[in-house]
Amino acid sequence: MSSRADIAVSYDLDPEFFRLWLDSRMNYTCGVFDDTDDLDTAQVAKLAVLHDFAHIAPQSRVLDIGCGWGNNLAYLTQERGVAEAHGITLSEAQYEEILRRDLPGVTVSCIDFRDFAPSDTFDAVQSICMIEHVCTPEEARAGHAVARYRDYFHKAWQWTSPGAYFALQTGLRDRLPRRPEDARELSWLGRTIFPGGMTPRAEDIIMAVGPYWEVMQLRTRREDYQRTTTHWRNRLRANEEHISDRWGRELFDTYDRYLTCCINSFARRHMTLSQWCLRRVDDPE
C-alpha cells in the first residue's frame, strides 16, 4: 500500500494547481467521451456510468474508496439524490478540501482503507482509480499483487450488505514497452508522480476479485483516457506562465512531461483504462 508520504507527493499539492488543468469539478481520472469532446461533459458521463454500475438508488448508503477532492460524493448527493455518502482518502489536502466544501449528506475519513471500520454496512461501493495505490512495486515484484488486491476486495465485501454492487475504475497495464525510452519514461512517472503506486493487470483483478465479487460487466476505455490526458495537457500548457510564476518552472515541466508520458502510453497501448461492475457474492466459499 502506498504510504501517507507517497500519497502526499501525488495529491497534496495546492488544489489551485490542479484546478487550473482538471475539469471544473476536479476529476483526476478518465472521462467518458461517448457523445462529446467536452471535458466537463465527459467527466459527468463517467460519474453516471459508475453510478449505474454500482446500482445506486437515493436510499443507498454509498462508500467511495479513494474519494479525491469529493467530486463524486458531491455528484451523488447533489445530482443523484443520495442521502448518505462516505468517502475515504489518505490525502490530508483532499480531506481538508472536502471538509471545507461542507457537502450535505457527505462524511469523510482521512484513513488507510485497511484501518477503516464503519459502524454500519454500505449498500454500494465505488472506487475510482484508487486501487493503483493498493500494491507497491516492491510487493508486485515479490509476487504479492493478487494477495494485496484480494485483501482490498475482502475489505469491501466486509463493509457491504447482501446484494451490494461495486463500481471499480482502474488503469491497467497492457503490453510491455518495446522502446527503451518508453520504459524509462514510465519508470520515471511512477517514481516521480505516483511513488509507491502500481497499476494492476487485468488478470490480477480477475484472480483477486473472485471469492467476494462476481464480474458482471467490464468496459475498457483506452482512447478515452488518451483524450482525457490530452485535454489536461492542453489546459496545463494554456496556464504555463501562471503556473511557472506561482509554483516554479520545475513543477510545470514535471507535469507536462508526466501528461505527455500518459498520452503516449495510451496511444501505444502500454496502458488502458477499465470500468468494472461487480456484484457481491453473498455466500463466498
Cite the active site residues.
Answer: 262
User: For the chain, what percentages of helix, strand and coil (3-state, to nearest 5) are there?
Assistant: 50, 20, 30
Select from 91, 32, 48 the least CA-distant residue to 66. 91
CA 247 from centre of chain: 25
- The residue with cell 471535458 is 39
C-alpha distances (whole Å) from 235 to each of 91, 110, 117, 210, 231 are 24, 30, 39, 40, 6
H-helix segments, 84-144: 92-101, 137-141
Other CB atoms within 10 Å distance of the CB of residue 269: 11
Containing 39, the helix (H) or strand (E) segment is helix 39-53
C-alpha cell at 85: 455518502
Select from 174, 118, 170 the least CA-distant residue to 149. 170
Other CB atoms within 10 Å distance of the CB of residue 21: 20
Contact 192, 123 (CB under 8 A): no
Max CA distance (Å), the chain: 58
Taking the C-alpha atoms of 7, 134, 83 and 38 in order, what is their torsion angle to the nearest 10 degrees?
Answer: 70
Select from 88, 107, 199, 78 the least CA-distant residue to 145. 199
